[in-house]
């Protein structure tokens, strides 16, 4: 791949067909091609980490973690700052990889890079937070201290939809707090979610053995979750896969952080600004082809506004051009795979067969699925119950605030939501009644910030949070020490 006619970074000879574990090396699992969704053409070839590769990486990471935890915090801070500098320097190539490998439009690549930089720069501050406290001793005159120490080795199993961002969201706090990391990127995005991450930290001078990048499939993920040297597993992905990871990690009594799916609602109250609400609804439902855990999976609209809102949402959908994000000025690219396209198609077709009305979209061209609006959606329809992970906006009516809250909470998920109203106090009051880990007033429901605790309730996660000071809790553990009274 080239950018502006120059050979792209990193040089393919360094990493093609390899994994990153004590440098770039061959693996026992062979190699795998990376395919560009928009064209179906091969992009690259990466190594596949076999269980034996994971075992060696885990042992090496455990040894490296001792010295890394003992390093001066300023050393760890400097590594993150240099990684951020390297990301800025190579941002053009990084964006190109994100666009071609994950099928996001260039703006999605820019967002990921900016958000990843935010994770790195915010992570620096974690190293300066108070790590302990002096406790009241028993008996008086003795000394009692408690402080945080690194967890040890963190296994990271990452998704394909925001590969760079989600990698940095864990790596930045985990590394700056003194942990070593085994990173398993998704098999669909092993370059932007793995190879590039390794090279950024290589350039940043991260000590050898602290980070290992192990591309592979579910077998590689199971090996990471089960490895006896891994003390904590951080998983982002589907609820079904999260349960499987939790079972494996639970056998080793490991700390597990699960960031899973969502069936998120945008609630439009009777006094909302229709244009602003529809714009937020379209961005939340159609952005990056709806392939985000925080996408809007339900549009709950007061009956007095539902026709006007639906028409505005349809207009928003019609204004979004579809095509190859690398070669055309488009808003919507392809979905990530044929499997995902078939899932979206099934949910829409079954819902229409059950009585939902297709207002626009609903017919794909290969992996290109257009922004789709369904109204007359009722409970029990797949569009109401299932996480779609595609550019589909199911519109559901309500008649009162109590009914809106009840409909929004009618799901086992509990990740995020948004409430629109001309009265901020009214919207905030409704927001307080939603069973979600995150909620936003007069805004999109798809939001993320490095300084905010990100995570959900119910089957959207296990109650863990990453971001802000929550990362301090996540990637350290308490140690208590007492010293007797002198004499």
Measuring CA to CA, how many Å separate 295 from each of 282, 284, 285?
A: 10, 5, 5
Is the distance from CB of 65 to CB of 232 less than 8 angstroms?
no
CA–CA separation, 442 vs 157, rounded Å?
33
> Whose CA is closest to 383, among 368, 393, 370?
393
What is residue 245's three-state secondary structure?
Answer: helix
Which residue is listed with tokens 């928009």? 38
Neighbours of 308 (CB within 10 A): 15
Strand-pair partners of 268? 301, 420
Would you call 345 a catalytic residue per the annotation? no
Is 293 in the active site? yes
Pair type for strands 296-302 and 392-398: parallel
Report the b/e string of 58-68 with b at 16+ CB within 10 A. bebbbebbeeb
Give me the residues paired with residue 44 across strands. Answer: 34
- The single residue of 36, 101, 259, 387 carrying the catalytic annotation is 259
Beta strands at 232-236 and 153-157: parallel, antiparallel or unpaired: parallel
Helix (H, G, I), strand (E, B) or coil at 142: coil
Q: Could you say which DSSP state residue 192 is in?
A: I
The position carrying tokens 């990362």 is 471
What whole-number distance in Å separates Cα of residue 350 and Cα of residue 276? 30
Give the list of residues 6+ apart from residue 443 with CB closer than 8 angstroms, or none. 280, 418
Cα angle value 241/98/462 (rounded, 5°): 25
Burial class (CB in 10 A: 0-12, 13-18, 19+), 279: middle
Q: Longest C-alpha distance within the chain, in Å?
A: 83
- Out of 293, 387, 401, 445, the active site residue is 293
Query: For residue 464, what are its two tokens?
Result: 């863990």
Q: Which residues are catalytic?
A: 259, 293
């Amino acid at each position: 791949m080239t950018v502006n006619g120059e050979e792209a970074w990193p040089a393919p000879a360094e990493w093609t067909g390899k994994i990153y574990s004590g440098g770039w090396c061959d693996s026992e699992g062979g190699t795998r091609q990376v395919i560009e969704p928009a064209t179906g053409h091969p992009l690259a070839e990466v190594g596949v980490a076999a269980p034996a590769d994971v075992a060696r990486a885990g042992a090496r990471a455990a040894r490296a973690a001792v010295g890394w935890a003992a390093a001066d915090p300023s050393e760890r801070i400097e590594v993150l700052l240099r990684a951020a500098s390297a990301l800025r320097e190579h941002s053009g190539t990084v964006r190109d990889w994100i666009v071609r490998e994950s099928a996001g439009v260039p703006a999605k690549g820019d967002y990921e890079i900016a958000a990843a930089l935010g994770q790195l720069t915010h992570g620096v501050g974690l190293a300066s937070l108070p790590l302990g406290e002096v406790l009241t001793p028993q008996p008086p005159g003795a000394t009692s201290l408690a402080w945080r120490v690194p967890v040890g080795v963190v296994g990271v199993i990452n998704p394909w939809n925001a590969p760079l961002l989600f990698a940095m969201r864990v790596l930045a706090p985990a590394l700056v707090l003194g942990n070593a990391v085994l990173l398993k990127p998704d098999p669909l995005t092993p370059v932007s979610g793995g190879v590039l991450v390794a090279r950024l930290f290589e350039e940043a001078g991260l000590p050898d053995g602290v980070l290992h990048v192990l591309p592979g499939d579910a077998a590689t993920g199971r090996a990471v979750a089960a490895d006896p040297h891994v003390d904590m597993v951080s998983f982002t992905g589907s609820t079904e896969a999260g349960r499987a990871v939790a079972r494996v990690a639970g056998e080793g009594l490991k700390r597990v952080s699960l960031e899973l799916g969502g069936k998120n609602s945008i609630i439009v109250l009777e006094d909302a600004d229709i244009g602003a609400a529809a714009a937020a609804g379209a961005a939340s439902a159609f952005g990056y082809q709806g392939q985000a855990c925080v996408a809007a999976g339900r549009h709950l609209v007061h009956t007095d506004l539902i026709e006007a809102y639906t028409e505005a949402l349809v207009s928003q959908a019609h204004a979004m051009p579809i095509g190859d994000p690398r070669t055309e000025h488009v808003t919507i690219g392809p979905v990530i795979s044929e499997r995902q396209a078939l899932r979206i198609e099934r949910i829409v077709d079954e819902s229409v067969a059950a009585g939902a009305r297709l207002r626009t979209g609903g017919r794909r061209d290969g992996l290109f699925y257009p922004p789709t609006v369904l109204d007359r959606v009722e409970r029990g329809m797949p569009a109401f119950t299932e996480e779609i992970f595609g550019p589909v906006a199911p519109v559901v009516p309500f008649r009162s605030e109590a009914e809106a809250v009840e409909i929004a909470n009618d799901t086992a998920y509990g990740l995020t939501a948004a409430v629109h109203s001309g009265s901020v106090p009214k919207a905030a009051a409704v927001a307080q009644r939603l069973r979600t880990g995150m909620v936003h007033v007069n805004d999109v429901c798809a939001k993320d910030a490095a300084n905010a605790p990100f995570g959900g309730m119910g089957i959207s996660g296990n109650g863990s949070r990453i971001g802000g000071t929550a990362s301090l809790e996540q990637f350290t553990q308490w140690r208590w020490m007492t010293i007797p009274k002198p004499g």
